[in-house]
Amino acid sequence: MKSTRDCLQATSDYVRSFRNSSPYINAHRGRTFVVLLDGQGIQHPNFANIINDLALLNSLGVRLVLAYGARPQIMERLERRGLSLEYAGARPVITNEVLEAVKDAAGSAGIDIQSRLSMGLPNSPMHGASLRVATGNMITARPVGVIDGKDFGHTGQVRKVDCDAINRQLDDRAIVLLPPLGFSPTGEVFSLSVEEVATRAAIELKADKLVVFSERQGLLDDTGEVIRVMPPREAGRRLETLDETSGGYAALHAAWQTSRFGVNRAHLISYQQDGALIEELFTRNGGGTMITQELYEQVRDATIEDVGGILELIRPLEEQGVLVRRSRERLENEIDLFTVVELDGMMIGCAALYPFGEEGIGELACVAVHRQYQGGQRGDLILQHIEKRANRIGLNRLFVLTTHTAHWFRERGFEPADVDALPRARQELYNWQRNSKVFVKAL
Ligand code: ARG
């Protein structure tokens, strides 16, 4: 008979990733996502894929609001008419003539999006499935007016988002399309920034997510790696270092703003990369940068609910003989001794601390980090947490018995020791057959 491990290896990548994505398929159903796609994204060759992925989300029951921009399309039209756009700071001045180009460009981009969405899901049984798009005067605007003597003309600001109207359409499973235009009760039209439309809509609809498509894949750290998660406070600090007119500013500002006003997760992804939306939404790690207040990954004391997750995590290691086998009963009895690392609801690391109070020493045992998350800092996080726990209960030394990972412990301050160094009760249980090495660390 095949062992579980052989079967695991035979599981195809496709099957594994489908299984991994299923929690998110369920989690996203019925949720409201606001998506921001600027005019550059619409012009990009990947636009067709983005629209197909949005259709897919709609078919999975996600309530979708798509706010789009049309800046380069507006510029093209102005150029053709021999007009130019004047800016004051990051804000354009929209004269009567410019407004005509804005209406043309925004209207035409909106129609392109609608026609693409009308195809349903290409290459699928849902091809041609009627997918409804709702658009209209859902944003009320007011003029920016005159600032420092400068009249901004038809440049507007969002005054009100008609949440009732939008929600009715979403209830009806339509995708709501928001142009970068706002209307006033006096019959005027104002040009709005797509970032403001998306931000206000996400906040006022109490959306679960804002997804911002921008040129880059997200925010990068000093080594050029994508930063996976960032708390709003740090995003705010980053904004201060950016020039208001620079490329990434508007996208990051939108994500930061929504996350400060109750939108749980704001995601920055690239409009250039095929499948970026799917990867971000249906994998645990995502592909871009997520701005969130939540504890997306946390190290904490285990509770009885974690037993199942811990078992799943340590089974493969038990089968390889790296860890000693533990039964569910034993784990349930000892759960208070465990520390776990949880990533978006999945157990990715654990360890236990068995105290020997009289001797002032504790055993660090059952240290495990999920295969896909090794090589990061998880092991260290767990060790730090365990050391704090040990201090809290008055222990001054830790020991560990290991057959496979001696170097890892040595690098973290553990020194080789004899079996005599173990507390008496533990010496009696020492399994000479396993011939584990003993390491001790003073705290
Ligand atoms: N797929 C999950 C979600 O949609 C998690 C995404 C995590 N993304 C990240 N960049 N860390 O919420």
Q: Residue 94 sits in a domain of what CATH number?
A: 3.40.1160.10
Q: Ligand 1 center to residue 346 CA distance, Å? A: 13
Output b/e per residue, 295-310; b: 16+ Cβ within 10 A.
Answer: ebbebeebeeebbebb
Tell me what pLDDT residue 1 has: 47
Taking phi over 0 as left and psi of -120 to 50 as alpha, with beta for the rest, 366 belongs to left
pLDDT, tens digit (0-9, with 9 covering 90-100), for 233-279: 899 999 999 988 787 899 999 999 999 898 999 999 999 999 999 99
Q: Please give the residue that has the higher pLDDT: either 148 or 197.
A: 197
ipTM value, please give it: 0.98
Q: Are residues 329 and 377 in the same domain?
A: yes
Residue 17 clears pLDDT 90, i.e. is over it: no
Nearest residue (CA) to ligand 1, atom 5 = 284
- 16 vs 127 pLDDT, higher one: 16
Q: Which amino acid is at 178?
A: L
Q: Using alpha carbons, select from 397, 338, 329, 385 the residue that is nearest to residue 365.
A: 338
- CB distance 290 to ligand 1 below 6 Å: yes
d(CA 383, CA 251): 37
Identify the residue whose tokens are 């995601």.
267
Specify the number of domains making up the chain: 2
Q: What is the CA(283)–ligand 1 centre distance, in A? A: 6
Residue 47 has pLDDT above 50, yes or no: yes
- State whether 106 and 148 are in the same domain: yes
One-letter amino acid for residue 356 of the chain? F
Ligand 1 mutation pick, 290, 297, 372, max ligand atoms within 8 A of CB: 290
Single out the residue in 263, 292, 321 at which a domain terminates. Answer: 292
pLDDT of 440: 96
Asked if residues 164 and 118 have their Cβ atoms less than 8 Å apart, the reply is no
What pTM, to 2 d.p., does this model score?
0.77
Q: Is the CB of 24 under 6 A from ligand 1?
A: yes
Cα 49 to middle of ligand 1, angstroms:
20
The residue to mutate among 26, 211, 220, 267, having the most atoms of ligand 1 within 8 angstroms of its beta carbon, is 267
**CA 137 / ligand 1 centre spacing (Å):** 32
d(CA 135, CA 114): 9
In a domain, 4, yes or no: no
294: CA distance to ligand 1 center in Å? Answer: 12
List 442's β-bridge partners, or say none: 397
CA-closest residue to ligand 1 atom 12: 281
For the cut 70, the answer to whether the pLDDT of residue 123 exceeds it is no
Please tell me whether residues 219 and 344 are part of one structural domain. no
Residue ID of nearest Cα to ligand 1 atom 7? 286
Q: 229 C-alpha to center of ligand 1: Å?
A: 8
Domain boundary pick from 292, 324, 339: 292
Whichever domain contains 390, its CATH number is: 3.40.630.30
Ligand 1 in contact with 91 (CB < 6 A)? no
Residue 387 corresponds to which tokens in the numbers above?
């050391």
User: Which atom of ligand 1 lies at the shortest distance from residue 290's CA?
Assistant: 10
Question: In the predicted model, what is the mean pLDDT of the chain?
Answer: 91
Report the separation in Å between the CA atom of 289 and the middle of ligand 1, taken as the mean of its atom positions.
8
> Other CB atoms closer than 10 Å to residue 196's CB: what's the count?
21
One domain, residues 315 and 215: no
* CB of 286 sitting under 6 A from ligand 1: yes
Say if 10 falls within a structural domain. no
In a domain, 183, yes or no: yes
Residues 254 and 375 in one domain: no
- Are residues 231 and 318 located together in one domain of the fold? no
Give yes or no for residue 8 having a pLDDT over 70: no
Do 206 and 346 sit in the same domain of this protein? Answer: no
Instruction: Using the predicted structure, report yes or no on whether residue 396 has a pLDDT greater than 60.
Output: yes
281 lines ligand 1 (CB under 6 A): yes
Q: Which alpha helices (DSSP H) does 35-148 contain, by range?
A: 39-43, 47-59, 71-80, 96-117
Question: Which tokens is 12 given?
Answer: 């195809």
The answer to whether the CB of 277 falls within 8 A of the CB of 269 is yes
Is the same domain home to 396 and 410? Answer: yes
From ligand 1's centre to the CA of 35, what distance in Å? 15
The pLDDT of residue 403 is above 90: no
Q: Does the beta carbon of 410 lie inside 6 Å of ligand 1?
A: no
Q: State the number of CA atoms in the 13 A half-sphere of 151 facing the CB.
A: 4
| pLDDT tops 90 at residue 375 | no
Q: Whose CA is nearest to atom 6 of ligand 1?
A: 286
Q: How far apart are CA 337 and CA 247, in angstroms?
A: 49
Q: Answer yes or no: is 139 within a domain.
A: yes
Within the chain, what is the greatest distance between any pair of CA atoms? 91
Over residues 338-360, the pLDDT tens digits come to: 999 998 888 999 999 999 988 99
Residue bearing the bigger pLDDT, 125 or 141: 141
Q: Is residue 188 part of a domain?
A: yes
**Nearest Cα residue to atom 3 of ligand 1:** 281
Pocket test for ligand 1, best of 285, 289, 291, 298 (most atoms within 8 A of CB): 285
Which atom of ligand 1 approaches the CA of 229 most closely? Answer: 11
Q: Which domain holds residue 356?
A: 297-442
- Identify the residue whose C-alpha is closest to ligand 1 atom 9: 286
How crowded is the C-beta side of 404, counted as CA atoms within 13 Å? 11
Q: What is the DSSP string of 344-403?
A: TTEEEEEEEEEEEGGGTEEEEEEEEE-GGGTTSSHHHHHHHHHHHHHHHTT--EEEEEES
Closest of 325, 215, 224 to residue 272, by C-alpha: 215
CA atoms within 13 A on the CB side of 161: 23
Say how many Å lie between the CA of residue 284 and the centre of ligand 1: 5
